[in-house]
Amino acid sequence: MPTKPKNILLFTDTPLLGGAEHQMYLLAKALDRRKFNPILCCGPYETLNTWVNKFKSEDIQTIRLEINHKNDTAQFKILKDIIKEEKIDIVHANIWNPASCRFAFLAARATKTPFITTEHDPFKLSALKNIFKKRLVNYVSTIIAVSKDNAKTLKKLHPESAKKVTVIPNGIDLTWWKSQLLSFNPKDRTRIRTDLFDADPKTLVLLTVAELHPRKGLHFYLRAIEQLLKTLPANKQNLKFMIVGEGPQRPALETLIKKRNLQDHVKLLGRQSNIPQLMKSADIFILPSSREAFGLVNLEAMASGLPIIASKVGGIPDVIQDGKTGLLTSPDNSDKLAKTLQKLITSKTLRTSISKAGLKHVENFDNKKMARMYEKAYT
């Protein structure tokens, strides 16, 4: 007689979409439905509608909480009722902020339901919030960190629960990513390079995909570009630096680009929807973050065959093996970044070797492999 699948309540109380929510979707999509039945539970916010519809398209049950905001105390009773009515075997809370998902914790404890958390970006809380957090951590069955750096932080913050911490790296849907490039041909690449990048066939295009926010280190990147252009001979300056994304730092970056006379080389492209195609049209990928929980975009760049330069922060060293699958540089250091840029720009051999190694390495981060690791945690 076949075993009934375990009901997994994938919970988040976020009103906004980000990397953590994308990982929830990739996990739910790849779980073995013969053994696990994922159920998404989240707030009623319109900002989540498109995301929730992606779960529905995969025939995953979704529950929207009838609450006014993420701090609405009505969540406690609603979640208790859901756990009982849906016969939930495990509550899996995705902690997008260290103080989030507290009502899910209380409901799981009240119903004596096993409680697992994924800590996407841990950091120290205020004294009052930390007291509650320690109670939560004491009840949690397993604490999942998305990187070794996150695990180290969690063990330091909660030494009494260090044995509960396990690392499961974020994943990428390689099947979907590759499907986006199946019909992509040289003509498409030429069109993007000409129309969007303003690049000729001999131009070396360096692409960055990031929110325009100080934590992404883009102001240091612009200084590094200025230093690089002063160092390179004139015949090596056929370079374009494309930055995709929006955010609060845009006005400051625009001012900095003009101040440093980088208008002929740097272009802010705003938000773009065809990221796989843009990556396939570029030559090098740069992520100069000052702070980064994991840096999933590096995996996307690898899957597109791009050699990468990224900062040695957060979970990035878990993804990039320095000198093999990419080059790591010190965060917030324009001098070192400029030297690393020069190293990769001036060596086609190095770019080719990193590209090949990255394409092979990214297979380790397929979301199906991530799901198998979560299934072990569930059991």
**pLDDT for 3-32, tens place per residue?**
899 999 999 999 988 888 999 999 999 999
What is the pTM for the complete model shown? 0.89
Instruction: Classify strands 165-167 and 142-145 as parallel, antiparallel or unpaired.
Output: parallel
Q: Which helix (H) or strand (E) holds 34?
A: none
The answer, yes or no, to whether residue 1 has pLDDT greater than 70, is: no
Residue 136 forms beta bridges with which residues? none
CATH architecture label of 6-168: 3-Layer(aba) Sandwich (3.40)
Distance between CA atoms of residues 221 and 216, nearest Å: 9
Task: Look at residue 219 in the predicted model and tell me its pLDDT.
Answer: 96
Cα-based distances in Å from 323 to 201, 307, 309, 351, 361: 27, 10, 10, 10, 13
Task: Tell me the average pLDDT across 193-205.
Answer: 95
| pLDDT tens figures, 353-369 | 999 999 999 999 999 99
| pLDDT tens figures, 230-267 | 998 877 789 999 999 999 999 999 999 999 999 999 99
CATH architecture label of 174-365: 3-Layer(aba) Sandwich (3.40)
Question: Are the beta carbons of 171 and 146 closer than 8 angstroms?
Answer: no
Question: Are the beta carbons of 6 and 350 closer than 8 angstroms?
Answer: no
Task: Tell me the average pLDDT across 275-289.
Answer: 97
Q: What is the strand order of the sheet 115-119 is part of?
A: 61-64, 36-42, 6-11, 90-95, 115-119, 142-145, 165-167
Cα-based distances in Å from 276 to 7, 30, 49, 181, 189: 34, 21, 23, 7, 11
The answer, yes or no, to whether residue 99 has pLDDT greater than 90, is: no
Residues 6+ apart with CB under 8 A from 310: 286, 287, 288, 289, 295, 298, 316, 320, 326, 327, 328, 329
Instruction: Classify strands 308-311 and 61-64 as parallel, antiparallel or unpaired.
Output: unpaired
Sign, CA torsion 270/169/379/138? negative
User: Which residue type, as a one-letter code, is found at position 364?
Assistant: N
- Quote the Cα angle for 165-170-174, to 5°: 150
| pLDDT tens figures, 315-374 | 999 999 999 999 999 999 999 999 999 999 999 999 999 999 999 999 999 999 999 999
Question: Are the beta carbons of 218 and 212 closer than 8 angstroms?
Answer: yes
Q: What are phi and psi of 244, to 5 degrees?
A: -100, 130
Distance between CA atoms of residues 228 and 205, nearest Å: 14
Confidence class for position 2, pLDDT limits 50, 70, 90? low
Task: Tell me the average pLDDT across 216-231.
Answer: 96
DSSP 212: S
Task: Look at residue 170 in the predicted model and tell me its pLDDT.
Answer: 94
Task: Look at residue 71 in the predicted model and tell me its pLDDT.
Answer: 85
Task: Tell me the average pLDDT across 30-47.
Answer: 96
- What share of the chain in percent tops pLDDT 70? 99
Domain limits, CATH 3.40.50.2000, in the chain: 6-168, 174-365
The answer, yes or no, to whether residue 221 has pLDDT greater than 80, is: yes
Residues 6+ apart with CB under 8 A from 330: 311, 312, 336, 337
The answer, yes or no, to whether residue 90 has pLDDT greater than 70, is: yes
